[in-house]
Chains A and B, each alone.
Chain A
Amino acid sequence: MFYRTHVLVEMTSSSVAFGAAQVKEALEREIERVGLKNEVKVLETGSFGASLPSPFVVIYPDNVIYAPLRVQDVRRVVEEHLLKGRVVRELMLAGGLEWKTSEFAFPFPLAKETRVVLRNSGFIDPLNIEDYIARDGYMALAKVLTEMTPQEVIEVIKRSNLLGRGGAGFPTGLKWEFTYKAEGQEKYVVCNADEGEPGTFKDRLILEGDPHSILEAMAIAGYAVGAREGYIYVRAEYPQSIRHLEEAIRQAGEYGFLGENILGSQFSFWVKIRKGAGAYVCGEETALLESIEGKRGEPRVKPPYPPQKGLWGKPTVINNVETLANIPPIILRGPEWFKSIGTPTCPGTKVFTLTGNVNNLGLIEVPMGITLRELIFEIGGGVRGGHGLKLVQTGGPSGGTMTPDLLDVPMTFDTLPKYNSALGSGALTVVDDTHCIVDVVKSFGEFFLHESCGKCTPCRIGNKRIVEILEKISEGKGTLDHLEELLHLGRNMKMTAFCGLGQAAPNPLLRCLEFFREEFETHVKEKVCPAGTCQLKSLQRTVR
């Protein structure tokens, strides 16, 4: 059936939280009422990918965006725009966002945005494989299976210098090569979709908006390393991602992109979903493997690394969702194209999620090397309420703390460590200057206290002691010695924790103790909270 117009409704967990489902229902109801049912089709899509208001509705091919579209305004849009062809200007997306046509077919990306990973997100119905196929979906897999040897695939990925997007930035091609070279008949591909770093939700939007891209990439990885089976480990907090993946796996099987003898080749590959159960530490790759193996999610001793001994002791390549989403375009367009984006040492794009006290919350895909200033003040629309910027936590609590003096540092895997920070998962949590530093650091500490697996001493007991000391400080019982103890505990955890997560946990504490030393000292010396948001201030008020 041919429809003259498509109404695309962004349907992600966050849009649903805003009532997108009700808006979609209302649209369908109204369209039927005015008799356009055979001409206009309402479609759910994944994320439109930018820092956009929600519910977000696009009329295609008119390229008109209504956002936020409230249920009570649906009737007007249907009657005016769809029936009479008159755009309802006052309901259109406003706010000075500039739109331009990108190299991709659909003209929505924001200025500065370059879409590789989110190439399909928002433009296709994630529950319809034909939409994906229509946008070159599974072409890369076909190319790999018909024209390339596994070594050639690995070579292409190596040459692209694609660095793992989960946070550590390890070269993906090398991981594949290690796994390819590891001895063993059985090997596995695992997709790490246990996105638990606070402030990060890029993987969720990719899985919700473009699940086939991940399946295709996993099959390519399987072909390259010699695996017949793949597992996607998705956190339990993402039920919609799981539903979309399940449907995508079913359809891919039906179309012969997964299963026995894919596209008539000798290559067979299956993908299964494993659901997490609420444990941040399972984002650590070996803890994730333990979890799939039905155990407590405690990190394993390394070496051996997963490419040698991974899932059920077999060679395993583990890639993050965003990393995998890069694979099909790299295969189709070549490593040189990929390297033309981003910086020479850190090519490609990065999906950043803007969270916290920033005007435009959401996610955006931009070339590597963008600065925080651009991200927060241009794309994010600046700090909420016109307040000053206190800090930006990059990559979640285990990433790094960027203070206002570092706004012009290019955001790449290789530059940030020079500033004791880390790109991590690409989460950006903006904290404005109305917040107390003790309170903010305590919130990081409480996260790790809640999420520490408890295996090693410095993390299990250290985080507890850190939170206790911060509590004392915010209750006005802090001393200068406490600040020394915090430093000592933080450094000890960094130096001796068992896994990467534990070693990274004290990063924000250490950085803030250094940069905001004065504010900490004011808390312990004068028993006053300059920002007035920690308990100390409220205590003071009651005393007065």
Chain B
Amino acid sequence: MAKTLKEMEKAKEKANLVTIYLDGKEAKVPEGITILEACRMEGFHVPTLCYMEGLSSWGGCRICVVEVEGQPNLVASCVTPVREGMKIRLSSRAVREARKTNLELLLSNHPLDCQLCDRNGSCELQELAYEFGVREIRFGGERKTYAVDMSSPSVKRDANRCILCGRCVRTCREVQSVCAIDFANRGFDTFISPSLGLPLGESVCINCGQCILACPTGALSEVSHVEMVWDAIEDPGKFVVLQTAPAVRVSIGEPFGLPAGTVTTGKMVAAFRRLGFDRVFDTNFTADLTIIEEGHEFIGRVKKGGKLPLITSCSPGWIKFMEHFYPELMENVSTCKSPQQMFGAIAKTYYAQKMGIDPKDMVVVSIMPCTAKKFECQRDEMCASGYQDVDFSLTTREAARMLKEKGIRLEEMPEENFDDPLGISTGAAAVFGATGGVMEAALRSVYEISTGKTLEKLDFYQVRGLDGVKEASLEINGMEVNVAVAHGLGNARRLLDQVKAGNSKYHFIEIMACPGGCIGGGGQPIPTNLEIRMKRIAAIYEVDKNLPLRKSHENPAIKKLYEEFLGEPNGEKAHHLLHTHYMPRERI
């Protein structure tokens, strides 16, 4: 497994050191690491394509080759371990020539129409071609052509742009344990294929979009809703309402050159208002609502001896994963809709009534760090208002592109506030964006609602951070409540298999499909890597800390919503609008 710098530093403390020479410079590095890892530790840059942090090493692209003295062939630095006394040349003529040749070979089977590509500007192949000074492709010949696969509601596959690095395949297998795609055929005819050669939309793909983040080129991207949103904005007969997810405010600055982890809530609101939305609301509002509904569901299950552990339902990638791979756990999963869908249902009923708008003239657009949200909003069940509750779901990337298209510079925007009342939220909602956040928010409310006491320490550090599985326990009314959190579905399997086997000690489990939670979602700006994930998470907790209210049940707008409209939490109306059901799916 490719290691992070931090892990390597840790390894350095423990392991035996070996002496190697990088372009003549002596370096002492831990035994057992690869040449590439050694280079990164020592501050040497080695270009890569098929290598990706957090995935197993593949060694197929042959871009990261280096020369090792005494060895007749060049070696791939990403898979070659260091040895005592190794003398490594990182940029000899042979190395540069080989890298360039292999890159040219990849380009000779590539469309070369960068201007027409989603990834123009963020493409690793394009960047390497620039860095290596490729000015012509010496080896022309047949180029493989494939039909673009638009069958999925979330992920668009353009195999013409694929360079067969396998990062998507490894992500889907190793991180998500979904295995929706794999290599098919062999040799020059090799391509990446969904299950059984079917279109992606008919496969077990859970729409999480992690493959898009992994893709170095434009072979994978989201199915775009941009044009539909422009149409809605420009249609004077439509009242277009926007909701922005908790994780978007800490990442949308990146495409505008702001450092990762910059909180841009106010600027973001201003920018989208200028884009032409009639109202700019906040998904955080319904995140608070989710906590009330889900919290009461949990309390109810504990009291009435209902199915436990209760498992969260905010992540639509996780939901589809459950339907394919763990249908037997369907009753464990909370019936609560995700905040995006609760928002749509409330907007087109409560808010529409309040404003006297016919819901058929209302268009609800969401900006999500997520590609699975595109699928979620199109699910048949998601029409509680009588119309499709959320009409369009944009990724953070699409939203940034729309702003740029209109010439709006996010970084220059003034700070503005969300519209009322669906823009009011607490810190508990803010932390939804990071892994562990839903659990933390739920614990804050469940404790206070159940015990009637005030929680002294609001910060549940045990459930924060990037460990794959985290756990905590809390005494509530004399009962030891055990909770667990997993992000990345490969990690989630560890908890789910226990539940399936009937030996889970947990009462409440949070699962997010994407590593890091929503801040690492498949709709987030590229690159999204470990370092950037950590910065976004830090920003999420900064938002929480700075808000006056940090518990969902203290949100005044939510209280008002129940008083004016919903009645009781988990009541009949709430059940109709805010809860859903699931269906088992084939594991093809």
Judge A-B direct contact (beta carbons within 8 Å): yes
Establish whether residues B106 and A454, one from each chain, have CB atoms under 8 Å apart when the complex forms: no
Known: A468-B141, A485-B139. A456 touches B187 (CB 8 A): no
Residue with the highest number of chain A CB atoms closer than 10 Å, among B57, B102, B183, B185: B102
Establish whether residues A450 and B187, one from each chain, have CB atoms under 8 Å apart when the complex forms: yes
The CA of A464 and the CA of B81, in the complex, are separated in Å by 31
Known: A468-B142, A495-B94. A462 touches B73 (CB 8 A): no
Known: A458-B102, A495-B74. A279 touches B186 (CB 8 A): yes
Chain B positions within 8 Å of A488 at CB level: 101, 138
The CA of A462 and the CA of B97, in the complex, are separated in Å by 15
Establish whether residues B138 and A454, one from each chain, have CB atoms under 8 Å apart when the complex forms: no
Known: A301-B59, A463-B187, A496-B98. A458 touches B139 (CB 8 A): no
Q: Is A497 an interface residue (CB 8 A)?
A: yes
Counting contact residues on chain B (CB < 8 A from A), the size range is 20 to 34
The CA of A456 and the CA of B183, in the complex, are separated in Å by 13
The CA of A497 and the CA of B61, in the complex, are separated in Å by 9
Query: A78 to nearest B CB, angstroms?
Result: 51
**Closest B residue by C-beta to A489:** B139
The CA of A99 and the CA of B102, in the complex, are separated in Å by 55
**Closest A residue by C-beta to B65:** A496
Chain A positions within 8 Å of B187 at CB level: 449-454, 460, 463
The CA of A495 and the CA of B96, in the complex, are separated in Å by 12
The CA of A463 and the CA of B109, in the complex, are separated in Å by 13
Kindly identify which residue among B60, B98, B109, B189 contacts A492, using a CB–CB cutoff of 8 Å: B98
Q: Is A108 an interface residue (CB 8 A)?
A: no
Establish whether residues A498 and B141, one from each chain, have CB atoms under 8 Å apart when the complex forms: no
Chain A positions within 8 Å of B73 at CB level: 494-497, 503
Establish whether residues B183 and A463, one from each chain, have CB atoms under 8 Å apart when the complex forms: no
C-beta contact mask, A88-101 vs B, less than 8 Å → 1, else 0? Answer: 00000000000000
Chain B positions within 8 Å of A496 at CB level: 62, 65, 73-74, 98, 101-102
Chain B positions within 8 Å of A451 at CB level: 187
C-beta contact mask, A495-533 vs B, less than 8 Å → 1, else 0? Answer: 111100001000000000000000000000000000000
The CA of A303 and the CA of B142, in the complex, are separated in Å by 35
Residues of B133-185 at the interface with A, using a CB-CB cut-off of 8 Å, are: 138-139, 141-142, 164, 183, 185
Q: Is A461 an interface residue (CB 8 A)?
A: yes
C-beta contact mask, A449-481 vs B, less than 8 Å → 1, else 0? Answer: 111111111101111110010000000000000
The CA of A494 and the CA of B65, in the complex, are separated in Å by 13
Establish whether residues B62 and A458, one from each chain, have CB atoms under 8 Å apart when the complex forms: yes
Q: Is A37 an interface residue (CB 8 A)?
A: no
Residues of B22-78 at the interface with A, using a CB-CB cut-off of 8 Å, are: 57-63, 65, 73-74, 76
Establish whether residues A461 and B109, one from each chain, have CB atoms under 8 Å apart when the complex forms: yes
Establish whether residues A460 and B101, one from each chain, have CB atoms under 8 Å apart when the complex forms: no
Establish whether residues A454 and B108, one from each chain, have CB atoms under 8 Å apart when the complex forms: no
Chain A positions within 8 Å of B141 at CB level: 464-465, 468
C-beta contact mask, B75-112 vs A, less than 8 Å → 1, else 0? Answer: 01001010000000000001001100110011011000
Query: A233 to nearest B CB, angstroms?
Result: 18
Query: A234 to nearest B CB, angstroms?
Result: 20
The CA of A452 and the CA of B74, in the complex, are separated in Å by 19
Q: Is A296 an interface residue (CB 8 A)?
A: yes
Chain A positions within 8 Å of B142 at CB level: 464, 468
Q: Is B454 an interface residue (CB 8 A)?
A: no
Query: B63 to nearest A CB, angstroms?
Result: 8
**Closest A residue by C-beta to B182:** A296
Query: B129 to nearest A CB, angstroms?
Result: 14
Kindly identify which residue among B57, B79, B97, B186 contacts A452, using a CB–CB cutoff of 8 Å: B186
Chain A positions within 8 Å of B106 at CB level: 457, 461
Chain A positions within 8 Å of B186 at CB level: 279, 296, 452-454
Chain A positions within 8 Å of B417 at CB level: none
Chain B positions within 8 Å of A492 at CB level: 97-98, 101-102
Kindly identify which residue among A279, A303, A452, A462 contacts B105, using a CB–CB cutoff of 8 Å: A462
Chain B positions within 8 Å of A303 at CB level: 81
Q: Is B190 an interface residue (CB 8 A)?
A: yes
Chain A positions within 8 Å of B164 at CB level: 454, 460
Q: Is B461 an interface residue (CB 8 A)?
A: no
Chain A positions within 8 Å of B94 at CB level: 495
**Closest B residue by C-beta to A468:** B141
The CA of A458 and the CA of B102, in the complex, are separated in Å by 6
Query: A358 to nearest B CB, angstroms?
Result: 31
Q: Is B188 an interface residue (CB 8 A)?
A: yes
Kindly identify which residue among B63, B65, B138 contacts A485, using a CB–CB cutoff of 8 Å: B138
The CA of A102 and the CA of B141, in the complex, are separated in Å by 57
**Closest B residue by C-beta to A464:** B188
The CA of A449 and the CA of B141, in the complex, are separated in Å by 14
Establish whether residues A457 and B60, one from each chain, have CB atoms under 8 Å apart when the complex forms: yes
Chain A positions within 8 Å of B109 at CB level: 461
Known: A458-B62, A498-B76. A465 touches B98 (CB 8 A): no
What 8 A-B pairs are tightest by C-beta distance, nearest first? A454-B190, A452-B187, A461-B105, A468-B141, A301-B79, A464-B188, A492-B101, A496-B62
Beyond contacts A454-B185, A458-B102, A489-B101: 5 other A-B pairs, Cβ-Cβ < 8 A, are A298-B183, A301-B57, A458-B105, A495-B65, A496-B101
Can you list 25 A-B contacts with CB-CB less than 8 angstroms, sorted by A residue number?
A303-B81, A452-B186, A454-B183, A454-B189, A455-B60, A456-B60, A456-B62, A457-B60, A457-B62, A458-B62, A458-B102, A461-B105, A461-B108, A461-B188, A462-B105, A463-B188, A464-B142, A468-B141, A492-B97, A492-B101, A495-B73, A495-B94, A495-B98, A496-B65, A496-B74
